Amino acid sequence: MKTILRLFLAIFLSFVLHNCNSNTKSGNKETEQRKKVEMITDHGTMIIALYNETPLHRDNFLKLAREGVYDSLLFHRVIEKFMIQGGDPDSKNARPGDTLGNGDLDYRVDAEFNSNLFHKKGVLAAARDRNPERASSSVQFYIVQGEVLNDSLLDRAENRINSWLGAHYFKKDPANKALVDSLQKAADENNMEKFRRYNDSINRLSGTYENFETYTIPESHRQVYRSIGGTPHLDQNYTVYGEVVQGMEVIDSIARVQTDALDRPISDVRIKTIRVLD
């Protein structure tokens, strides 16, 4: 009887260990299947893994990298403890003092929000303008540096996320179309007095708007924000589509550079090349 029991336990342990090893390999395999790019900058090299959960952004970034679109462009906007932004096509031959950040290609990428992807330190995310669909710039991106936050600051970030979400869904509500159209008309006519008036009304009304699902920062995300940091207030409003897996120190090095009043580095910080890794 004892022999049979020992045999049963041995088989059971073998089964458990096999499953643990299989799950570990499966998890590693999923990570390994992510396409990676090598970004060489004036401050060093970063390896970035692109998320399969955001295929539109992944494929667009890979296409632009293969075509050499990013080669010789600048990190034109740098804010320490926040992010480093690059990809403006106008930055390639920019002169000192030129205002950058408005360059783009002739299309946008549809937003791909995913509740599992968030703005921890090192993530690659898409810049965008204030278009109502929150679609991404075709080419401009940012890499998060951020900072470590406590629960009080995370609560404030959560409130900010929901404030932005409330404004977004308020504007999408058909019941508010007349007000939103008036705002757009004022903008098109460059009538700043009317624009400010309509914009103030929308901000006031959207502050009490409740016809949407509010967002709660998951505890697993909070743990990351409390340890390595990030910029949580951008979650669910800007598309995250990759992360730095090697060369995190490069982010910190670029973030420390001296910048002007428009957050452009005084001395250019250039992307030498982005290469897709096989």
Query: Computed from CA positions of residues 239, 249, 245, 118, in that sequence, does the dihedral angle turn out positive or negative?
Result: negative
Q: CB-hemisphere CA count at 13 Å for 212?
A: 20
Per residue in 34-57, is it b (16+ CB within 10 Å) or e — as a string? bbbbbbbbbbeebebbbbeebebb
Per-residue pLDDT 10s for the chain (278 aa) are 444 444 444 434 344 334 444 443 434 445 569 999 999 999 999 999 999 999 999 999 999 999 999 999 999 999 999 999 999 999 999 999 999 999 999 999 999 999 999 999 999 999 999 899 999 999 999 999 999 999 999 999 999 999 999 999 999 999 999 999 999 999 999 999 999 999 999 999 999 999 999 999 999 999 999 999 999 999 999 999 999 999 999 999 999 999 999 999 999 999 999 999 97
- Structural contact between residues 226 and 217, judged by C-beta atoms closer than 8 angstroms: no
Q: Which residues make beta-bridge pairs with 242?
A: 50, 124
Rounded-to-integer distance, Cα 141 and Cα 272, Å = 16
Element (H, E) at 14: helix 2-32
List Cβ neighbours of 64 (8 Å cut-off, separation of 6 or more): 70, 138, 139
Q: Domain 37-173+209-277: what homologous superfamily?
A: Cyclophilin-like (2.40.100.10)
Query: Computed from CA positions of residues 100, 102, 106, 110, in that sequence, does the dihedral angle turn out positive or negative?
Result: positive
Written as six digits, the tokens of 72 are 């010789």
- pTM given for the model: 0.86
